[in-house]
Amino acid sequence: MDPFWNRLFSKAFQVVPGPRYNQVSQDLRESRNVLFYEVILRTDTPWEHLRDRVYPALARYLRHKSISLDLPEGVVVSLFFQDRFYLLQASEFLRAYRETEGLDSVAFHFRVRAWLAETEGQEETRERPEGGDEFRRDLPAIRK
């Protein structure tokens, strides 16, 4: 098994058999008001997929929810792998990233800023049609 799998799984505060996940997650939501971020891992999922897709998506999700990446309290990452769910505090999931990539907290902060800056640039592109004009002349006007 790859070292990053072991690193992730060792940080789990609870390992749940797949069929019990709904009940366990519901219990946590009710008892501690926990927000879940679910990730499905296959046996052939490379670290690069987590590094380049999952972690940036989590950063955007937390920002959207106004949750600090420095202290993402109340957020649990559930990693579904084979027939189990590994439940990790989001802070531990992020720590696994820093450890795997060899980043200190300052370097990680800059990495997160880069992820979020990429997203902001993509959102601007989506919101504005070519030419930068916000009014779309190719759509019919709605008249009252």
In terms of Cα–Cα distance, which of 66, 67, 60, 65 is closest to 123?
Answer: 60
Residue 132 domain-assigned (yes or no): no
CA 3, CA 50: separation in Å to the nearest integer? 14
pLDDT band at 118 (very low <50, low <70, confident <90, very high): confident
Residue 60 domain-assigned (yes or no): yes
CA 74, CA 94: separation in Å to the nearest integer? 14
In 13-55, which ranges are E strands? 14-17, 35-41
Helix, strand, coil % in the chain, rounded to nearest 5: 55, 15, 30
Residue 72 domain-assigned (yes or no): yes
User: Which domain range does residue 100 map to?
Assistant: 3-122
Q: What is the pLDDT of residues 11-64, one digit of tens each?
A: 999 999 988 998 998 888 888 888 999 999 988 888 899 999 999 999 999 999
Residue 127 domain-assigned (yes or no): no
Please say if the pLDDT value at position 122 is more than 90.
Answer: no
CA 18, CA 16: separation in Å to the nearest integer? 6
Please say if the pLDDT value at position 143 is more than 70.
Answer: no
Residue 111 domain-assigned (yes or no): yes
Residue 142 domain-assigned (yes or no): no
pTM for this prediction: 0.77
- Direct distance between the N- and C-terminal alpha carbons of the chain, in angstroms, rounded to an integer: 64
Report the pLDDT value the prediction gives residue 134, as an integer from 0 to 100: 52
The total number of structural domains in the chain stands at 1
Please say if the pLDDT value at position 112 is more than 80.
Answer: yes
Residue 34 domain-assigned (yes or no): yes
Residue 17 domain-assigned (yes or no): yes
Q: What is the pLDDT of residues 68-107, one digit of tens each?
A: 888 898 899 999 999 999 999 999 999 999 998 999 989 9
CA 49, CA 54: separation in Å to the nearest integer? 7
